[in-house]
Structures are given as C-alpha cells and as structure tokens.
Structure 1
Amino acid sequence: MYVKVENLKEGDILLDDVIGKSPVPLMEKETTLTNWHIKILEAFLVNEVAIVEGQLSEVVVKTETSEEKKSNKITPIPSQRTDFFQHYLQSVEEHKKEFQKWQAGGGVDIVKIREMILPLLDKAIDNPDVFWKILNYVEKGNYISHHSISTGLLSGMIAMQLDYEKGMVVQSALAGTLADCGMARINPRILLKETSLTAGERKEVDNHPFLSYKMVKDIKLLKQEAKLAVFQHHERLDGSGYVNGVKAEKLLLISRIVALADVFHAMTAERPYRDRQLIFKVLEMFRQDFFGQFDLSAVKALTNLFTKLPSGTTVQLSDGQIATILFMKQQHPTRPLLQLQKDDTILDLEKRRDLYIEKIL
C-alpha cells in the first residue's frame, strides 16, 4: 500500500524501489526504514512510497543506541587503527633513513622499499578510511618521506580499485614510493626552503623525475612499466606536464595512477611553503579545474576511496559546523545530503557549493 512520507514510521519496509532524479534508486525495495531514511525521503521531496502492508502497525521497532549508531561508521577498531598508524610512522622513518643514504650517494635498496610499503598497503586495503587520517600526521620538516609513503599507498589502492592484478598493484605502489627518490640528488638547501622557489631552484627540482629514473632503471625487481611511471609522474594527458611534455597516447595507466596520487597528496598535505587543501575540494578540482590532465578512470577510483561513507558518519564542514551524513550521492559523491547537529537542519551540499566536508570525526 502507498503511504505519505509524513506518516511513515521506523520499521516500515519498502515494497518497491524509490526512484529519485538519478538513474540509481534513492532507496532499494525491502529496505527497513529508520528515521535516517525518512529524513532522506523528506529532503528529496518524495510524497509517498509503497510499503509492505501492515508494517505501520505491526512492526516493533528496535531503537538504535548511540553505540550502535557509532558502529555504522567504517572506522576500524582502535587496535587496528593504532597498529596502522604506528606502522605508517615507522615506514616514514625508515624511508627517511634510506633518503639520507641516497643523499650520501647510495643506491636504492628495493627490498627495503618493499618491506616499507607492501605490509602497510595490506593494512590500508582492510581499512581504506585511514587515508583521511594520514594527512594529519604529515610533518613539514619531513614532508618528502611522508609524501613518498603516502603516494605509494594511494597508487596501490587506486590500482586495486581499477581491478589491476596483484603484481601490478604492487608495482604501482613501488613506483609511487620511488617517484621522488631523485629529490635526494637535489641541493638540500632547496628541499628545506620554506618560501617559494626561484626560477633556477624550480628548474633544478623539475629535473627530479629524470634523476629518479636514473636511480631505479637497473633494479631487476621493478618492472619496466613501474620505472617508466617514475619517470613520467609529472606528465599530463594534455601534454602540459614535464619532463618531456608527452601526451595521453604515450602515458601508461600506471604512470597516470602515480601522477594522480602524487598531486593529490601534495595538495591535501601540509608542505613547507604551502598549506593543505580540503580532500573533497581537491577531488572536485580534478574533475573541473584539471579536466583533461588526469585519467578519469583513475580520478573516479581515487574518489571512491574517500567517499564510501555510510549514513550516520559525523563530519566537520569547512565553516566549522558539525553534521551527520544522511545520504551519499553516486552522481555527486563529494556533495552528500547532511543533517546539521546544532538544529537538525537538512543541508544539501550540492546546493551549497561554498561548503565542503573538511574531516571525519
């Protein structure tokens, strides 16, 4: 039977899909409604829905406790989270030691690089929400090591989202981790500089992909595709990148993945001479401001890593307001429907382009 939305109660069960403005159902049939679902229906101006007859009066509703609502989040249990971040910080320190060896003229020990990144990647696969937290750990004075480990993790996760076979997921992670190893051959004074670089300093830094490639080209455990990704990680599909300004047809997908991961982390982490930008804002920039420069399939995979947030997740907005996610939109994943905690107002970020999700609480 059809029931007006204002007459729905918790425990009612949908008889049919609820269709919104997108081709994807707003809610699927057989969904057992909660107050969250009813608020979503009201926010999307749905007048009435079909429910299983008798549900309005016969279903005994079990009210969620605050602890049960918290359990709906994708946050891993504390021990898993703690283990991951301890391991992450350890990998950053290990990378720092290797980087110092490279600065002294040493070569890349690929076995150590694998030991840094692959066990960490395995843990990240089980807990993809950790990427929201990693950015809070970056130290400006140790940026390169944080950036290298994070770029390796992101590259591996993007490759996995794109259904790469395991071997290429590993190679993507290794290429991302080693993309900036050539920075060890740059004057340390430039690396530690906290103000904008001069034209001459920028030219020296822009040569680091070539220096990185020289350091990895003879490593047998690194496939040729990964070596090329190290060399090409600052190239762009439209030919606007460097070192050679090559275009799409000459860029392997693994090169496109590492390029995206590299820029994403650089924009969303604190750097010596640049403040971080908001994750969701940067994801939108890849689709809009940088359109044509990055591979769209890789951008979609990266977006999926950060937008798998269930209803009930508490977030902080760019203006400081605290809100709860009501509904994540498949067509606009960075613009969910929210409920402000201060007064229960429904807020549609698709209509409030001046606001972004800043962090998960």
Structure 2
Amino acid sequence: MYVKVEELKEGNVLLEDVISKAPEPLMVKDTILTSWHIKILEAFLIDKVAIGGASMGMVVENAGLPAEEKKRAAVPVQTKTNFFEVYLRSVDEYKKEFHKWQAGSGVDIIQIREIILPLLDEVTADPGLFSKLYQCAEKENYYCHHSVVTGLLSGAVAAQLNYEKGFVIQTALAGALADCGMARINPRILLKETSLTAGEKKEVDKHPVLSYKMVKDINLLNPETKIAVFQHHERMDGSGYVNGAKAENLPPISRIVAAADVFHAMTSDKLYRKRQTLFKVMEMFEQDFFGKFDLPTVKALTALFTKLASGTAVRLSDGQLANVLFMKQQHPTRPLLKLQANESIIDLEKRRDLHIEEVL
C-alpha cells in the first residue's frame, strides 16, 4: 500500500527500499518508521512510500505480545544506520544545546563531541556525503545546521590535509563552536527575514568574542582551538575581523575554520537570501576571494566536492543533464562532460558561461 509521506505515522513499516538519488537506498525494507525517518523522507522530497503492518498498512501495534516483547517492540528497529537520520538527530541535539546557551548555560563539550564525532568519521570516509547534506537543510534552523556542517567540513578538510587524528577532532570542534556566541545575540536579529541593518550587523559581529568567552575555560579544547573560534572571521590579507589579523598570525586551525564557515554560509539558504551553488562558490574561492583564504585549505575543501567518478550525472546551470567524462586535476570544477541529450562533448574549462548546478 503506497501512502503519501505527509500521511505517515510512527510505527508504519516499509514494504520496500526507499530509493533517492544516492547509489544506496535512503531507507531499507522492514524499517519501522519513527519521527526521524519521516523527517528524512520529507527532507528528500519523497512523495509516497510502500508501507505495511497491522490493518493493511496502519501502525504496528504491540497488542497481544508478552510484556518483554512489548518492551522490545517499543524500540524502533532498522537494519542499517542511515547517515542522514543521524545528521538530523545531531542537528536537533545541537539545537537543544543552543537553547541552553541562550538561557545562560555553559558549553557541554562532552555533548558537542558526541554530536560531531560520529558524523565526522562518516564524512571523512565518504566526502561525497557533503553534497547530499544540503537536501536536509532547514533555513529556519540555519544556525544549528551551519554549526554542525562547519564542524564536519573543518574536520574533513584537516583530514584531507593529512593532519593527525587529534588535530582533526580539535579542528572539527572549533568549527562546531565558532558560532556558539550567536546564542548571546538578540533572537530577533537571528530570526529576521530581511537583510540586517548596520546596527544589527555590528551586533552580530560581536559573536566571535562571545564564542571565545564561552569556550576559553574548557580544558578539553587546545589553545589553538580556542583561538580558531575567536579568529574564524579573520582573513589572510588582514581584511577580516575582530583584529584584522594577517596570515602570519593565523594558525592552521583558524585558516581551516574560516574557509569552512564561509563556504557553508554561502551554499546554504538563509531566511533572507537563497544559497549559491557548490561549484559556483568553489570558483569564487579560487578567483574572487583569492588572497583571503589559505590556498592549501581551499584546495582541500574543493577536493571534498570534486572527486566525481567517470559517468557521474550532473545538472548544468542551463538545465542540461550531462555525465562526467574526465576530471581535471588543475581545474577540478571544470571537468569534461558528455551531454545526455545529444551525446556531444562539452569542456567546462572553455565554456565559462556554464557551471555545474548539481551533482545527481
């Protein structure tokens, strides 16, 4: 029985795998749906799914089971852990921490580690997951999504640059906590649906200092990690804030978090503006922002999104569909493609009027 996603209830059981654009099923057959599963289906714009269970597709009941069986049946069962479910759960957990900070509580670094580190292991093993995370974004919860993804991007870039595990973890934590000071900004400003006034921007620009004050006494964070939280809006050429620090005063973690923070911000929907595409922003880092960000960091960040196998389907900025023929090491955002419509070859390095809009 096929049921629209908006009509699903917790306890419904999938009769078949749910397929999205990813090579593996989004959810597998026999998964007992929870609110998390339903939220993921909505995020991936799934229209209908096949469900079964008691009463021709209704919610699975525990009636008639022994007490111990009822207890076990109350626990959702799934045959395979889904990365996107864990991600959405982590964003919700981060949101709870953010609300605690707004109420005046300090940072629970153990909880932040538990939110970030399981996801970090997944994305460092499979960076291709980053391209799919944008399907889970919610602009109403932008700051929580932003903090989690900035942490993951920061850690993944550090791993891409071959830093040791401890450094990777500290970099991820710096990214995840860089904006914790936003909790001390007037909520009215954070929820505003139009561009900020000069006065409101000045208020928001205080958040690196506020973030640093919230992490400075945490023993499990290294000094360089705390500095990165403070410096994540500094730029290599001295054009950033709070102190206008230049390259010689920006340690590696600061350089990584700064790039990850801007990259995710530009490629995310906010209440007052739409996101820009991943490949367009990568090219802006290489061209428009040249000199502002650390070059090895930018190359490592770009590599997370451009390891596309031959045959990978993409949508171009003019709407055409194509497949990757060859990725260019020197120009990773401008591969050689074959158009699906007429099988003609197109070299994006020569066609500057086009760019990759989406990896399918």
User: TM class, shorter-chain normalised?
Assistant: 0.7 to 0.9
Aligned to 1:27: none
Q: Matches of 1:149 and 1:349 in 2, distance apart? A: 32
Q: Matches of 2:267 and 2:26 in 1, distance apart? A: 24
Per-residue deviation, 1:156: 0.2
Aligned to 2:286: 287
Q: Matches of 1:119 and 1:82 in 2, distance apart? A: 12
Residues 1:116 and 2:95 are matched in the alignment: no
Per-residue deviation, 1:75: 4.6
Per-residue deviation, 1:125: 1.7
Contact 1:238 1:248 in 2 (8 A): yes
Question: What amino acid does structure 2 have at the position aligned with 1:334?
Answer: T
Question: What amino acid does structure 1 have at the position aligned with 2:145?
Answer: H
Question: What amino acid does structure 2 have at the position aligned with 1:239?
Answer: G
Residues 1:147 and 2:146 are matched in the alignment: yes
Give the secondary structure class of the aligned counterpart of 2:219: coil
Give the secondary structure class of the aligned counterpart of 1:160: helix
Q: Matches of 1:188 and 1:282 in 2, distance apart? A: 28
Per-residue deviation, 1:77: 6.3
Structure 1 stretches lacking a partner, 5+ long:
1-72
Residues 1:203 and 2:202 are matched in the alignment: yes
State the percentage of identical aligned residues: 70
Residues 1:350 and 2:349 are matched in the alignment: yes
Contact 1:325 1:337 in 2 (8 A): yes
Give the secondary structure class of the aligned counterpart of 1:315: strand
Aligned to 1:61: none
Give the secondary structure class of the aligned counterpart of 1:239: coil
Q: Matches of 2:258 and 2:115 in 1, distance apart? A: 21
Per-residue deviation, 1:138: 1.2
Structural mapping, 1:189-338, within 5 Å: 189-338=188-337
Question: What amino acid does structure 2 have at the position aligned with 1:301?
Answer: A
Contact 1:317 1:357 in 2 (8 A): yes
Give the secondary structure class of the aligned counterpart of 1:189: helix
Aligned to 2:135: 136
Aligned to 1:3: none
Q: Matches of 1:314 and 1:107 in 2, distance apart? A: 46
Give the secondary structure class of the aligned counterpart of 1:197: coil
Residues 1:162 and 2:158 are matched in the alignment: no
Question: What amino acid does structure 2 have at the position aligned with 1:254?
Answer: I
With CA pairs under 8 Å and 6+ residues apart, which has the higher RCO, 1 or 2? 1
Count residues with an aligned counterpart: 289
Give the secondary structure class of the aligned counterpart of 1:338: strand
**Cα shift readout 1:151-204 (whole Å, capped 9, x = no counterpart):** 000000000011111000000000000000000000000000010101110000
Residues 1:87 and 2:80 are matched in the alignment: no
Q: Matches of 1:263 and 1:240 in 2, distance apart? A: 14
Q: Matches of 1:138 and 1:242 in 2, distance apart? A: 28
**Cα shift readout 1:15-51 (whole Å, capped 9, x = no counterpart):** xxxxxxxxxxxxxxxxxxxxxxxxxxxxxxxxxxxxx
Q: Matches of 1:78 and 1:95 in 2, distance apart? A: 23
Q: Matches of 1:228 and 1:352 in 2, distance apart? A: 42
Q: Matches of 1:139 and 1:334 in 2, distance apart? A: 26
Give the secondary structure class of the aligned counterpart of 2:96: helix
Q: Matches of 2:196 and 2:81 in 1, distance apart? A: 37
CA 294–165 in structure 1, closer or farther in 2 if over 3 Å, else same? same
Contact 1:76 1:127 in 2 (8 A): no
Q: Matches of 1:199 and 1:75 in 2, distance apart? A: 46
Give the secondary structure class of the aligned counterpart of 2:82: helix
Question: What amino acid does structure 2 have at the position aligned with 1:240?
Answer: S
Question: What amino acid does structure 2 have at the position aligned with 1:280?
Answer: F
Q: Matches of 2:271 and 2:242 in 1, distance apart? A: 23
Per-residue deviation, 1:83: 0.9
Aligned to 2:98: 99
CA 138–261 in structure 1, closer or farther in 2 if over 3 Å, else same? same
Structure 1, 152-161 or 281-290: larger mean CA deviation: 281-290
CA 359–82 in structure 1, closer or farther in 2 if over 3 Å, else same? farther
**Cα shift readout 1:244-292 (whole Å, capped 9, x = no counterpart):** 1111110001000000000000001111112111111111111110011
Q: Matches of 1:105 and 1:233 in 2, distance apart? A: 23
Q: Matches of 1:274 and 1:137 in 2, distance apart? A: 17
Question: What amino acid does structure 2 have at the position aligned with 1:313?
Answer: T
Q: Matches of 1:268 and 1:160 in 2, distance apart? A: 22
Q: Matches of 1:75 and 1:128 in 2, distance apart? A: 14
Runs of 4 or more consecutive aligned structure 1 residues displaced over 4 Å after TM superposition:
73-82
**Cα shift readout 1:290-349 (whole Å, capped 9, x = no counterpart):** 011000000000011111001010111111111000000111100000011011111111
- Based on CA coordinates, which of the two structures has the bigger radius of gyration? 1
Per-residue deviation, 1:126: 2.0
Give the secondary structure class of the aligned counterpart of 1:193: coil
CA 101–88 in structure 1, closer or farther in 2 if over 3 Å, else same? same
CA 284–319 in structure 1, closer or farther in 2 if over 3 Å, else same? same
Give the secondary structure class of the aligned counterpart of 1:167: helix
Give the secondary structure class of the aligned counterpart of 2:308: coil
